[in-house]
Amino acid sequence: MRRWLALGVAALWVAWPRFTQDSVLQLPEWVPVKRTLVEAGDSFEGVLMRLGLPQALRGQVVLAAAGVMDPRTLKPGEPLLLVMGAQGDSLRLVHLEGDVRCVEVDLPATLHGGALQITSGKVSARVQVLGAKAQLVEREGQVGSTLYEAMVDAGGSPQQVLAFADIFQWDVDFLTDIRQEDRFWLVVEESRVPRPYLGDTVTVEGRILAASFQNGGDLLRACRHEGCGENGFYDAKGQSFQKQFLKSPLSFRRVSSQFGMRNHPVLRRVRMHHGIDYSAPSGTPVVSAANGVVVKAGWENGYGKVVRIRHDRGRTTVYGHLSAIEGDVRAGRRVQQNQLIGRVGSTGLSTGPHLHYEVQENGRPVDPVRAQGAPGKPVPASCLQDYLAQFRRWFP
């Protein structure tokens, strides 16, 4: 599905408050003298200590910075720098926060012979909003060994792989249904953000606007729609991709988080008379396939540890042989689609770790693979024509 996007590059500015004074572009060149990265469990004051700021100065910095940032939101990997003005008479602390904000804290201090000396004056802090040039990027490819490897080879990130799988999770079991020669295509927003003080540029991925997936003989095409009705992805007729039941109670996103995207456990799906058995390592996360109310969470004969959930229209789902049931999953409790309810195990009458999954309708078993249930709300009639025009833009 090769195509060229005749789309111009537009300059976008993130919608943060504007700061017109003391922009880094109006100041002399600043020279980094010390740099550190936020580590898991770091406090703001701990990072300042690692940069060599004395205790008398650290307290002032924390107070001043509190007006422009939340020190509790430091994320691992974010850089903090101590920079010196080109004239050698000024010192500044810089925190590159996320991909769009640069927190600058001017310090009443100088460096002499590598030693920090406090001078007269006050600590002051400001925020610089980083400009980003945004463009639309097209990615496509064919699955060789895994969808992850194919999408990364096409320029996508691990988070983009998960976002892509989220779109089609009601129609495709991304743990068991992926075949060699399946094809994917998507259009994403992407921004290049220059970072001051470091002199480099980072790529910031935005939303997926349109996507398609050729899974065996099935071609799925989805377009993002927002601002009228429910935000989400819809098909060529404006029908929502979201459905009452997920294709599988083993979430691609959660399994990827636990085992890593490169090393998914080999999952095998075997249809049984009353449901499906998923062969998976003990501890693999199990989610609720649909919204509902828990009617049982505990031990039940051959099922071992089991969760039973009642849904709309007389349907019930059953999750058997679990090694553990989540603490907040109890009879009478409501659960949401994709909520973690337990872990794969081998309790009850079981020959090895696996999940036994059933869908029942008015007490009688139905094929879980075909039990998608009611679709989500379609695009409202008042904006359907605008949506269809957008869909045809991506899929002429």
- Written as tens digits, the pLDDT of the chain (396 aa) is 444 443 333 333 333 333 344 444 444 478 888 999 999 999 999 999 999 999 889 999 999 999 899 988 899 999 999 998 877 788 999 998 877 789 999 999 888 777 888 888 899 999 988 877 789 999 999 999 889 999 999 999 999 999 999 999 999 999 888 999 999 999 999 988 888 888 888 888 899 999 999 999 999 999 999 999 899 999 999 999 999 999 999 998 888 877 776 666 656 677 666 789 999 999 999 999 999 999 999 999 899 999 999 999 899 999 999 999 999 999 999 999 999 999 999 999 998 999 999 999 998 888 887 777 778 899 999 999 999 999 999 999
Give the separation between CA 138 and CA 11, rounded to whole angstroms. 19
Return the CATH number at 183: 3.10.450.350
Q: Are 258 and 225 part of one and the same domain?
A: no
CA distances (Å), origin 388, targets 4, 154, 383: 20, 28, 9
Give the separation between CA 99 and CA 114, rounded to whole angstroms. 31
Structurally, how many domains does the chain consist of?
A: 3
Give the separation between CA 195 and CA 198, rounded to whole angstroms. 6
- Whether 284 and 344 have beta carbons less than 8 Å apart is answered as yes
Q: Are 147 and 101 part of one and the same domain?
A: no
Expressed as residue numbers, the domain containing 121 is 10-129
**Quick one: CA dihedral 342, 347, 353, 358, positive or negative?**
negative
Task: Please tell me the predicted confidence (pLDDT) of residue 17.
Answer: 34
Q: Does 29 map to a domain? A: yes
Task: Please tell me the predicted confidence (pLDDT) of residue 142.
Answer: 96
Q: Does 14 map to a domain? A: yes
Task: Please tell me the predicted confidence (pLDDT) of residue 101.
Answer: 87
Task: Please tell me the predicted confidence (pLDDT) of residue 264.
Answer: 64
Give the separation between CA 89 and CA 274, rounded to whole angstroms. 77
Strands (DSSP E) found in 23-130: 30-37, 79-85, 91-97, 101-107, 109-112, 115-118, 124-129
Q: Are 121 and 210 part of one and the same domain?
A: no
The identity of residue 286, as a single letter, is V
Give the separation between CA 267 and CA 248, rounded to whole angstroms. 12
The identity of residue 337, as a single letter, is Q
Task: Please tell me the predicted confidence (pLDDT) of residue 199.
Answer: 82
Q: Are 144 and 225 part of one and the same domain?
A: yes
Q: Are 289 and 337 part of one and the same domain?
A: yes
Q: Does 381 map to a domain? A: no
Task: Please tell me the predicted confidence (pLDDT) of residue 13.
Answer: 30
SS3 157: coil
Tell me how many degrees the CA angle 370-374-377 measures, rounded to the nearest 5: 140
